[in-house]
Structure 1
Amino acid sequence: MTNKVDNHLRAFGMSGLQITDNIATIEDKYRISLGHHKRQADEQDYYPQFDSEIRAEAASMASHYETFYCLEQSIRELIVSTLFDKFGSDWWNDGAVPANIVTDVEKRMQRDKDSGFSLRSEREIDYTNFGELSVIITFNWDVFGAIFSSKRAVERIMNSLNLLRGPIAHCSPLAADEVDRLSLTVKDWFRSMG
């Protein structure tokens, strides 16, 4: 009888460890918290020669980078899917994008090819800068007007986001007011739809 109880306890303990590991994997993969206590990540030990204040500042800026990264990628996907639906698979070359942006993107793609590094993407849209995304949307307002409530609002919001993007992309801390402004401007973006 004791052997049977011991086996059940071992099985229970192993199941618990397996579940704990699975929860941690899910939290890491989807960057969510399921209430599981995080294990100490080895990444915290990287580059110990960096000043702890700089590392703390980087950690506080990481969430702003993540917010902006997700927003920018979702805007790119919105443009791609909307223009694909309207113009078909060759929308980039069929006049949906201003000629100067097409030319600038070709130069950026060629510069990537000439660098010998891995290409960041095979898609032209991924070589546009953030400001050009706004131009593409307003250039195709006949299409995007059905998605957004106001062209002027989209221009204003995209301009604000572009200004907020600077410190995030160039490793400068955001002031507390700008953290609030980023949050409000992201909300404005989603509110402008519909």
Structure 2
Amino acid sequence: MSDDVDASPLHPLVMRFCYADPPYLGCGKLLYGKMHAQAAEWDDPERHRQLVGQLCDEYPDGWAMSLHTPSLRTILPMCPDDCRVAAWVKPFAVFKPNVTVAYAWEPVIFRGGRPRPRTMPTVRDWVSECITLKKGCPGAKPEGFTLWLLDLLNVQPQDEFVDMFPGSGMVAEAYERWKRSPRLPLQYA
């Protein structure tokens, strides 16, 4: 066994993590209605509560969920007290007509993760990455976002990482590329 992998009971050799990027509260039917028949169910806060419960039950090692700033006040209280909020800051974002303060960051609620020894570099609770354009699915995440997310949860190459809402497939593709050639510490900025 490698010296750099701790397989003690406190640090299992293989852990399971999940990333959820559901249609944002109130945006399901509007943005995804033509692509997915069930998109409108995400316009109901109760559906997000069910998702949080599912993430807690099925991924006790750790999970992260993207949402938009208007829904943070609704969804965060649905989460366990040990959850944290991180930020995806977008130096290039879409500016919408009649919105005088741009939505240029997105919250990412996360919970758990592989314990990080003090010998590892500290990870910031934010990442600065530009949005993606023309990827076939609204809200497709850039590769740098995925690498940061893997670092945030301290995912290791032997772990299972599930992209619950694959959409454009970009998160899974970035994860697979990283898994074939992990860069530790991860470099995303």
| TM-score normalised by L of structure 1 | 0.23
- More helix per residue: 1
Larger Rg computed on CA atoms: 1
| TM-score normalised by L of structure 2 | 0.24
- More strand per residue: 2
